Every structure is written in C-alpha cells, then in structure tokens.
Amino acid sequence: MFIYQLLLMALLVLSVVASVPPIVIRGNKFFNSSDGSQFFIKGVAYQRNRREGEVYDVTLGPRYIDSLAEPSLCLRDMEYLKELGVNTVRVYQIDSDQSHDVCMNAFANSGIYVLADLGEPEQSINRDDPHWDLDLYERFTSVVDAMSSYPNVLGFYIGNEVITSPLNSNSAPFVKAAVRDIKRYVRNMGYRGIPIGYSSNDDAATRLELANYFVCDEYNGTDSAVDFYSLNMFEWCGYSSFATSGYKERTIEFAQLPVPVFFSEFGCNTVTPRPFTEMESLYGPSMLKVWSGGIVYEFFQNENKYGLVEETSPGVLRKLDDYRIVQLRFMESKPVGVQKSWNTESRRGQVKCPVVSSTWNALLVLPKFPLPEVCECLDASLSCILTPYVKIHETDLLYEVCLVTDCLKINGNGSQGKYGVFSVCGIKQRISYALNKHWVQNDRNPNACNFGSRAVLIANREDASVDSTFTADGKNCRDVLGKCLDSMQKPTVVVPLGTSQVSVALTGITKFVQSRSKSGSMRVLI
C-alpha cells in the first residue's frame, strides 16, 4: 500500500494539470474560463490544527500545519472531500518554503479549487497595531510565488477579519494598501491574474462601510480595490429561514456590490447536529443572483466543535453527523447560473468610498509601498540596534522604547492618513530605529543602548557614513533616504468630504478644508 501511494504521488507530480480550467471574474460573478458557465463555490474550510499536547520542533518549521504540503495527509483527506461534494477548500496557512505540487495537482484532478490566505498567525495585519511593512510584503509575495502556477488557485485572501468594529476600522487603509501592492506584484511578475479578496466578519456597525471601502476605486484606482468580497456569516442557526435569519437583509445590502460575494465561513452550531437548512436558500433562487456560494466551517473537528470529520489519529478520519448532512445538502444544491457572455456589466464606479463617521474611522490616504532599499539604508545608518542574541517580545519592547522617545517616523495612523517614512520597515528595523534614536537623544551614552540587554551598540556611525553606503542594487543611501523623505513632505491626495470641515493630516502637518467641491471631493496639496 505504501509503495502504491508513493507511485501515485510521483505520477501526480509528473502529470500536467489540465483537468481544471482557471476560474475568472466577470462583473459580480465567477465563471469557468473554459465553457463560460457560472461557478458557485461549494466549499469547506480546510485547516488541520496541531493535536492537543503535540510536541514539535519550532526550529524545523512553522507552528502551523500546511496540509497542502503533506501528501500523506492531503491525499487521504481528498477522498473525503470528493465524497463530501466540495469544489473549493479554503486554506488559512501556507508554508511557502514547501512544495505543494502533489496536493495541488491531486486536488485539481479532482476538480477542487483552493482559496489561500496570504497571512499566517504570526505574520498578518494586526488590527491592534496595524502596519503594512516589508516583513508582511515578503510573506505575502512568498505565498503568491509558491501558489501562482497552479490553475486551481481560485483566489488569495489579503486579510481575515482584520476590522471587527468601529474601534479598529483605522486598520483598513493598511489592508487596502496590501491589496494594491500584491495586485501590482502579481502583474509585474507576469503571473495569471489570480483574484485578490478579503474575508470580513459580520459586524453590523461596519458591515456596509467596510465592503464599500474595499470595493471602491474612485480615489486609489482599481489596484487598491478587491476582486471579490466575502463574509464569515453565522446568522442562520438551526431551522431558521431566509426572512428571519438576516440572510434576506444581507442579500439586499450586497446586491449592488460590483464584485463576487460569498460566505467565506458559515454554519452556526447552536443546534447540533447542524441541519444546514441555509444551504437551500444560499444555492436557491432567493440568493443565487447575488451570492456565489459559500464555505462550510469547518472540515476538521477542533475545540470549538464545528468539524465535519474527527481526526482520531494522524491521517485517520471519522465522519461526524454534520459531514453526512452537508454531503446531502451539496448533493441537493443545483444552482442555475448565467453564461459568462451574458454578464458583461461592470458597476465598479457606482460604489462610493465611505466617509469618516461615528462608525467608520479610516481615510483613503494609504501607506506607501514598502521599498526594501529604504529599510536597507535605515539599517546601515543605525549604531544602537536590537540585539540578535536574545529572544524577546518585540511589540512589548517597541512600546517600551516609544514611551521615552519620539516614534512618529515608524508609526502609521489610518484614521489621520499619517504614515512615518520608516513605518513600512519590518518590526526589527523599527525597534532598532527607536533604540538608536533614544541613544542619540541621550548624548550617545553607551548605557542608553541597553534596555535590559535587548539593545547592542555595534558602531558609532556619523551621518557622513550614509553617503558612502550603497544598497544591494547599487543605490546610494543618502539619495534613497533623501528622496524618500522629500516624497513624504508634499504628497497630493484626494480626500472625500463627508462634512464641511475635514482634517487632512500627513507627516505631522494638519490643515483644515472648509469648503466642498461639487463632486464631494477635493484635491489637496499639503
């Protein structure tokens, strides 16, 4: 049996995946690029977690499990997924250092597409301390590099529930900047135009503003607008109905979105086993004109008790009651869509970007692209840096240092549209900047470069050394840092005017605009 499995793996790797055509977007719907038929997502969240008490070596790999990089696991899982009747899986964590050929080819040959999150638990946009920086850019692009060659990649998620309430809506500009830069990266690398989207929670206070913010393109262009939008939706519990569950209201609200919308997670578990009666509406005439299906939460049983199967031992699965119910629902669901040639209308320009209000606190001024040479030159200019020898809690140290020194140049504020010139650098570089500034402010006293042995003095550099320092591609650091600082001083931005007085703030400079143009916006040179 083991030899047979190895032979099967080898054949799958060597085979050319031609059995599944890429899925494309036209208007607000997904389509099969080969026959033009509308594609409805019949999916399941597919993320294997580590077992309770499992011992593993964190020096040998990530803390999470990437099942798509484990052929011995994914090939067994695939048989259960096929029997379940899914055509899509959502994978939350991808190890970009591993090969996914065997699993992705096997899934493609079984007609299963993949929605992949670009982030992972330790590298994603943090709603409590949002940044769009070089570390995240490199993480996100590494997943794009690892997955873009597979035709059964349906899309990439730029974020999952980053904004969950009005209090953290100021993190939205960082997500929108990530959409912009990843779409440009995909295009510049010559990859297939794989759609980029966002997975939102169902917060009533921010639900519509959030969707409109990520879909609108009137101020930052289509690169910053998502290609699809999805909701983690758990309103329908037990034997509810389309009219009473909230599904009717959500369908009316999202009917005007110009991109495909679907449920990125669904399946309330207050009633068990879950009857999944919502699937009758989701794939029926009440919803199929607006929604493109959904993803059942979730395949593997975990502590939260949403699973369809239980992994009794590594690779050994036991079907739960919910598995059989979902299998029946998928079998009964036969949505009738339209042809690609009939869906040519684009409504992007009809969605207006939201203005700042009591429930929405994000401007449309976005963080800059994380230029590697800026951060490289920053490194070259610092004398007091984060020690590489001690394991520390980085965010705690940064907070501690910024209490005693000015961190304006490494911080960003989405509610004010203010982004420090070095806010795009990775957290280690930002910490080193703050440590170095504190050391300089204390007359370069060696004792000021310590912070409990978490900082180390490597040199006593003068500003002149930057003139003789060059980046890996030959750029002079004085020129790089000078141009970067100049570009931050007088940007031209377009600001939506929701009231008669709008604060426009960039790089510490604030002016007030007290008049409204006829279009409801104004081009402001700060």
The per-residue pLDDT for range 433-475, each reduced to its tens digit, is: 999 999 999 999 999 999 999 999 987 555 446 666 776 677 7
Please answer whether residues 374 and 481 qualify as being in contact, where contact means their C-beta atoms are separated by less than 8 angstroms. yes
Cα 507 from Cα 491, distance rounded (Å)? 10
> In which residue are the tokens 């989701």 written?
282
The conformation of residue 523, written as its DSSP 8-state character, comes to: E
Active site residue 54: no
The contacts of residue 282 (CB under 8 Å, 6+ apart) are: 247, 263, 266, 288, 291, 293, 294, 333
Cα 98 from Cα 66, distance rounded (Å)? 9
What average pLDDT score do residues 255-273 get?
A: 97
Instruction: Give backbone dihedrals phi and psi of 115, rounded to 5 degrees, phi first.
Output: -105, 115
Top pLDDT among 473 and 363 is at 363
> In which residue are the tokens 């590489």 written?
388
Q: Which helix (H) or strand (E) holds 115?
A: strand 113-117
Domain with CATH 1.20.58.1040 in the chain: 372-487
Catalytic hit among 138, 161, 253, 310? 161
The HSE-up count of residue 323 (CA atoms within 13 Å, CB side) is 16
> For helices 477-487 and 372-381, what crossing angle results, to 10°?
120
On the question of pLDDT at 409 being above 60, the answer is yes
Cα 120 from Cα 141, distance rounded (Å)? 13
158-184 pLDDT per residue, tens: 999 999 999 999 999 999 999 999 999
Instruction: Identify the top-confidence range among 400-404, 504-508, 519-523.
Output: 400-404
Question: How many of the other CB atoms lie within 10 Å of CB of 276?
Answer: 20
Angle at 356 between CA 350 and CA 358, to 5 degrees: 120
Cα 58 from Cα 51, distance rounded (Å)? 15
On the question of pLDDT at 290 being above 50, the answer is yes
Domain with CATH 3.20.20.80 in the chain: 19-55+62-350
Q: Which of the residue ranges 269-273, 281-285, 334-338, 426-430 would you say has the lowest mean pLDDT?
A: 334-338
Q: Which of the residue ranges 309-313, 412-416, 476-480, 502-506 would you say has the lowest mean pLDDT?
A: 502-506
CATH of 372-487 among 2.70.98.90, 3.30.200.20, 1.20.58.1040, 3.30.2270.10: 1.20.58.1040
The architecture of the domain spanning 19-55+62-350 is: Alpha-Beta Barrel (3.20)
Catalytic hit among 70, 120, 209, 265? 265
On the question of pLDDT at 348 being above 80, the answer is no
Terminal C-alpha separation, the chain: 70
Whole-number pLDDT of residue 19 = 75
On the question of pLDDT at 489 being above 50, the answer is no
301-331 pLDDT per residue, tens: 999 999 999 998 877 899 999 999 999 999 9
Band (pLDDT 50/70/90 cuts) for residue 494 is very low
Whole-number pLDDT of residue 241 = 97
What average pLDDT score do residues 397-418 get?
A: 96
Whole-number pLDDT of residue 227 = 97
Active site residue 161: yes
What average pLDDT score do residues 125-130 get?
A: 95
515-525 pLDDT per residue, tens: 333 333 332 22
